[in-house]
Amino acid sequence: MITRVVMPKLTDTMEEGIVVAWKKQEGDPVAVGDVLAEIETDKAVMDLEAFGSGFLRKILVPEGQAVKAGALIAVIGELDDDIDAVLAEATSESRPPTTTPSPQASPPIPTKPSPEAPPVSPPSAPPTETPVVAREKKISPRAKALAEEHGLDISTLVGSGPGGRIVERDVLNALQAAPGATAHQPIVRPLSQMRKAIARVTTESKAPVPHFYLTTEISMAEAERLRKQVATIRQTPLSLTALLVRAATLALQHHPDINVSFAGEALHQHTQIDIGVAVALDDGLITPVIRDCAQYDILTISDRLRTLIERAKAKHLAPEEYTGATFSISNLGPYGVHNFIAVLMPPQAASLAVGTVRSVPVVKDEAIVSDRRMQVTLSCDHRALDGAQGAQFLQTFKRVLEQPLELFLPLAPPSEGR
C-alpha cells in the first residue's frame, strides 16, 4: 500500500514548513510511528512521524527547503509498488522537484536550477561539495539558505551554536568579514517561518481589529519585598512574570467579561483562563500558554512557566502548548522599556503589555518620596470590550499587585452577577 507523506499543517498560522533533516533515507524500512524527518514550523522544530509502513521509496524535498503545507514530500510503499502515478501527481501540481541522489527516479530531474530559481543546492547528481559539507557539518536551515544566497562556502564556517552547529550569526559574521564587503552593502536575510507567521498574523489582526489602549501605573514596592521574602525560604526564585500571571488570573476571575472572543454575531465567553506569555527568540517570539490558570497556586504557576519558557527557547513546544490563549502578557521590562502597546492576537479580546519596574519620585502624604513603579497597558478589541470594562480589570490587577498577599490566597468564586 502506498502512503503519501505530505508537509503537515501543524498550527493554524503555519502555511509552509522546512525539512530540517531526514531521519530515514530512500530504501530504509519504515514502520507506523517511525520518525521520518524533523520539520521546522513557524514556532518549533517537530518530528514528522510515519502514518504507513513499508519502505521509504522516494524523498521529494531536500533538507533545508521550504514547501507549502499539504505538499507531497515523500512516498512510502512496498518495493514492488508502482509509485509513478504518485510522482506524476506531484509534478502536475507544481510541487517542489524531486531532487534526491537516487538513480531510480521516475520523472526527469533537472541537474541545475534555472537562473531565475532560488539558489537551492539539491543533492542530485552530479553531487557538489556544498550538500556533502552540509551533511558533515550541522547547519540550521536559515544559515544554509543565507550562505547559498551569497555564494558562501559552508566548509569555511565555524559553528557557534549547540554542538558546533552553524547558525545565522556565523554566516552574517563571515559575510561582513569577507573581502570587498562594505557597510553600505545590505545582506539579504531570508525570513524564517516564525517571522513570516508573525508578519502575516499581526497584519491580519491590526488592520481589521479596532484596538484601544488603557495605561495605568502600579506601585511594585510591596510585590518586590514579597519576592525577596520568598527567595529566602524557597530554592527556586519567584519570577515577576509569575506574579503577573497570577494577578491577571485573579483579575479575570473577577471580570470574566474580559476573557472573551469576538465571533461575528456573538461573543464567546471562555470558561477557562488560558494565559499566554510572550517569549523572545532569535528569529521572533512565541507565546507558551499556561492552561486553566485558576487551578494553580502562584508557586506552581512559577514552576510551570519556567519549564514552558525553557522548552520554548529550545523550540520543543507542541502546538497545543503555544496556541489558543484567551489572554496574553508581554513583559519587556527586562529590556528597560518603560511603556509599550501590544497587538492583539485573535481570538484574544485583551492583551497586557508590561514595562520595567523603576524608581520614580511620587507625592505621598504631601511629601516627595521614591517608589518602585511599573506601567502596564491593556490592548482591547473594541468589538468585544468597552473602556469601562478594561478600566475595571486594570483596577483589580493593580490592587492585587499593590496588596500582593492576595496572590497567595485561594481563588474565591466570582460574585453573583459578575
In whole angstroms, give the CA distance from residue 388 to residue 397: 14
Closest C-alpha to 241, from 295, 284, 303, 286: 303
In whole angstroms, give the CA distance from residue 289 to residue 162: 26
Measured CA to CA in angstroms, residue 298 lies from 245, 290, 302, 333, 379 at distances of 8, 12, 6, 20, 24
Q: Which residues of 145-182 are buried (b: 16+ CB within 10 A; e: fewer)?
A: bbbbbeebebeebebeeeeeebbbebbeebbeeeeeee
- DSSP code string of 358-381: EEEEEEETTEEEEEEEEEEEEEEE
Which amino acid is located at 312 in the chain?
Answer: A
Angle, CA 314 vertex, CA 311 and CA 317 arms, to 5° = 45
In sequence order, the 6+-apart residues with CB closer than 8 A to the CB of 244 are 329, 331, 352, 354, 401
Q: What are phi and psi of 132, to 5 degrees?
A: -65, -45
From the CB of residue 31, how many other CB atoms can be counted at a distance below 10 Å? 9
Catalytic residue among 150, 211, 268, 382: 382
ω into 346 cis (within 30 of 0): no
From the CB of residue 266, how many other CB atoms can be counted at a distance below 10 Å? 9
Quick check: helix, strand or coil at residue 355? coil
Give yes or no: 150 in active site: no
Quick check: helix, strand or coil at residue 302? helix
Q: Hey, what's the cell of 227?
A: 519576592
Residues carrying an active site annotation:
382
